[in-house]
Every structure is written in C-alpha cells, then in structure tokens.
Amino acid sequence: MTNYPTDPADILEAAADLLESTGWTKGAYHRNMYNDSDDGDAQNAVSYCAAGAIRRAAGWYDHHSVPMARGTMDIEAMLAEKVGVICLPSWNDKPERKVHEVIDLLKETAKDLRNRKAAA
C-alpha cells in the first residue's frame, strides 16, 4: 500500500511534482495517453489538472474516504480563494493559463503554509 502525504503542504508539493513529472491538462481532472478525459479511472492517467494532481497526490483515487475527500476539497477551496475564483478548475482551465502558473501556485502555497506553521 502506498503511503500518501496528509499534511496540506506536503500534498501541494507532491501535486506540483506530479505535474512536473507526468503532465498538465485542462478541461478534465486527468487524461489518459490518448488525451481522453479519463475521470472514471485515474490509474491510466498521464496528465492532471491542478485539482486532479492534488487528489492523486493525496491518494483520493486509491482510497475514497470521506476525511480524505474533505481534506483535498479544503485544499482546493483554499487555492481557489487565493486566486480569486469559486472553483479551482475554472482557474486551471482558463485559456491563457500556463502550466508554470499552476505549479508555482502549488509550490508557493506549500511554502506559505510551512512558513505559517513555523511562525505559530
């Protein structure tokens, strides 16, 4: 069994690493090697949107538990608020959005969370 991070900062960093190592997409949580929206089966995914990467990093697709779902949804809501939208996928899917912006958001937010934790 895979051990997934539970700390939000760790999840965000793992999601950024996932986007850097596999790929990024728009219009779906994840896509398979044929570029099909593969929302029912993330096991074959080769690219993820911001929310999909967060969910994969946290183990959402392998362990559909209520606490995990709430945790990832809270992270997504925090990021959406940070960028001034209601829903993170709407920010990810904007035509002008670039992968480096998504990765930067994930990494910067992870750093901010760690800084707040250290200051507390």
Quote the CA–CA distance of 87 and 120 in Å, as a whole number: 29
Question: What was the pLDDT predicted at 63?
Answer: 64
What's the pLDDT score for residue 97?
A: 98
Report the alpha-carbon angle 103-106-109, nearest 5: 140
Take residue 102 and report the two structure tokens written for it: 């998504």
From first to last of its 120 residues, what are the pLDDT tens digits of the chain? 568 888 999 999 999 999 999 999 999 999 988 888 865 667 788 999 999 999 999 888 776 655 666 788 999 999 999 999 999 999 999 999 999 999 999 999 999 999 998 988
Residue 80 confidence (pLDDT): 97
pLDDT at position 66 = 55
